[in-house]
Structure 1
């Protein structure tokens, strides 16, 4: 989606560009520019690996859950009993076709008390790999494939992997600061981090895109709709917001492209004009984003492990995760 606005092929030096005819005095410079500017495509393997890892963890969770043996029967019988110990909890207990909350807690679900008072900080990361059910897993993995593969092809596995993992951590930290009464699991925070990175990538590389306004509007609408869904009950929107903000800042740091007109030294003629790889605007955003990211993580982690309750510092923030109506109440 970072290419939603499309590139101008004549500016980006893509396959459809036509440098100044080969008989033109500047044709040699244009040829080097076309070579240097063509976008490298990476082979995506990390995102598919993440998908396999998430599916594998879910299968392990269902195996550990062992509904036929451990189900109390209070909520009814197990669903899809033909799956044996992989069968799902009763739908009255878990409508997403998944394990019990006790199984998710046992395997690393995010729980504030255990993170802060039992020194189990590893739950801030382990919860990202757990899912509440098949529906939850499918929704997140489809999003990861559609968003993540494109980003990995454009920027490589290192940068996309860092954004995914750090955004997941950022989402877990914010969630723990505001939600204390329930267990949180899922890769949604990491996925929102990828969306946030796509937005900042568009902003920091603004000059190389055409149809900028359309691309920006489309991306903002998609983000807004997904965040709006988070105000429904039983959805951890704090993880979404924390992941999004982390990815947004990381995008300014990790997804910076060379400015228009920059030519790598490998393709630059000896007498060619030397142009800075990045603009002052990009450098400025990089510095500000880096300082903000360090500050936000430092403050968030200190507050969390000191046992601070975010709701006491922000009386209205609970509405960001759930808005009570006549049809439902908010438990968090």
Structure 2
């Protein structure tokens, strides 16, 4: 979506890239007075929201699957959360079953959530981040990044904490944060005239640190999965995202090294998990 071509929209920034723009103001004062609370909230939190995007689709799918998981087998503790058996049947990360080659469990945990609060928090974070990342790098690259971080986070989680059973979009959310940091860094000089590059980088770093601290002090948090998603997201950004403007030989070298690092991460991890780990 090109926000620059709409005469009723004013760009609050100096870049065509939503990731390093603060927001857009939309319409006239009269229109602002008639907007609903939901419209106002969307413009504040997700000013670049669009319905026909990967982030919108995956969010709707995850919400739908949560409803299905609760209906399939509600928890005895609460009618509004799925049981442990439901999450296991639908594809939670389970290292024992992964070693029995139920390989879909590398991917399916990102689609499931353990409670309503877990779902709501992750969906809010996903929309805030994804609606800025996707219009900046494109739908396909966002999709590739999302599931690479999901896979990579679950791989490290299964290796470091094989007894844990995990679900949730946090692996991909951590990956998106680190990928956005990487995008700003890899295009730092090309964004030299952008007033928001420093602010964007600081906000993302603070968000990453706060999220890591929250995970460390919280119980029943898949910290190893979060860390794996973060590592994969940062490296994958250099591997699959495009540079702005002219690409130097140094940039090409970074991209080649990042692709090699991603392949090594998954190759070494999978060989170790299936070849040497005993659960």
TM-score normalised by the shorter chain: which range applies?
0.7 to 0.9
Which position in structure 2 is the counterpart of 1:46? 54
The equivalent of 2:238 in structure 1 is 252
Q: Deviations over 1:69-128 (max 9, x none)?
A: xx4xxxxxx54xxxxxxx23xxxxxxxxx1221221121111111111x22121111111
**Partners of 2:139 and 2:212 in 1: how far apart?**
26
- Aligned counterpart, 1:304: 273
Write the distance in 2 (CA, Å) between the matches of 1:152 and 1:141: 15
Paired with 2:154 and 2:261, the residues of 1 have a C-alpha distance of 18
Equivalent in the alignment of 1:218: 203
Report if the CA contact (8 A) 1:42-1:155 is conserved: no
Structure with the bigger percentage of helix: 2
Does 1:114 find its partner at 2:122?
no
Q: How does 1:1-332 map to 2 (within 5 A)?
A: 7=14, 44-67=52-75, 71=76, 79=78, 87-88=79-80, 98-116=81-99, 118-209=100-191, 210-211=194-195, 212-231=197-216, 232-259=218-245, 277-308=246-277
- Tell me if the contact between 1:178 and 1:309 (Cα under 8 Å) persists in the aligned partners: no
Contact 2:156–2:225, Cα closer than 8 Å, also in 1: yes
SS at match of 1:293: helix
Q: Tell me what 2:7 maps to.
A: none
Deviation at 1:202, TM superposition (A): 0.7
Preserved CA contact (<8 Å) 2:153 2:228: yes
Q: Do the aligned residues in 1 keep the contact of 2:154 with 2:171 (CA within 8 Å)? A: yes
The Cα shift of 1:141 comes to 0.5
Check the 8 A contact 1:252/1:286 in 2, yes or no.
Answer: yes
Question: Do the aligned partners of 1:204 and 1:256 also contact (CA within 8 Å) in 2?
Answer: no
Query: How far 1:280 sits from its partner (Å)?
Result: 2.5
Q: Offset at 1:255?
A: 2.0
Q: What is the match of residue 36 of structure 2?
A: none
Task: Note the C-alpha offset of 1:256.
Answer: 2.1
User: For the aligned residues, what is the CA RMSD?
Assistant: 2.3
Q: Is the CA contact (8 Å cut-off) linking 1:7 and 1:208 kept in structure 2?
A: no
Q: Separation in 2 of the partners of 1:237 and 1:182?
A: 11
Q: Distance in 2 between matches of 1:57 and 1:8?
A: 37
Structure 2 unaligned spans of 5+:
1-12, 17-47
1:173–1:300 contact (8 Å) kept in structure 2: yes
Q: Secondary structure at the match of 2:103?
A: coil
Q: Which residue of 2 aligns with 1:323?
A: none
2:74, 2:83 within 8 Å by CA — same for their partners in 1? no
Structure 1 Cα separation of the partners of residues 69 and 276 of structure 2: 29
Q: Rg larger in 1 or in 2?
A: 1
Shift of 1:254: 2.1
